[in-house]
Amino acid sequence: MRKIPALAATCGLLSLPLAHGDVGQLLQINGCTACHQSAARIVGPSWQEVAQRYGDGSKSAEQLAASIRSGGSGKWGAVPMPPQTQLSDADASSVAEWILTTAHP
């Protein structure tokens, strides 16, 4: 089990329920929930929007994981997504797989 950094706890990043287990913890401790939520667009797209766009197979979990780790801009609007290099390849893959298979309604 991963330790949750004290900074994440004090910044309020622990508001997402852990209904989806380890991925929920990854989303929280890595600050993903500061810009993304399940169904609502905040700074970036909701996970449901991402799942709807790429759930047709136009992007694999591996491609989405690479996009998460490298960041980018222009895919979802003017606000760039910073690179998430703190995520290991395995953790980025877990998040991407969850988004593509679980995050949609």
Report pLDDT digits (tens) over 50-78. Answer: 999 998 889 999 999 999 999 999 999 99
Q: Contact 15/93 with Cβ under 8 angstroms?
A: no
Q: Which of 14-18, 33-37, 62-66 has the lowest mean pLDDT?
A: 14-18
- What tokens were used for 34? 């500061």
Topology of domain 6-101, CATH:
Cytochrome Bc1 Complex; Chain D, domain 2 (1.10.760)
**Domain ranges (residues) in the chain:** 6-101
Burial of 45 by CB count in 10 Å (0-12 exposed, 13-18 middle, 19+ buried)? buried
What pTM was computed for the model?
0.76
User: Coil, strand, or helix at residue 81?
Assistant: strand
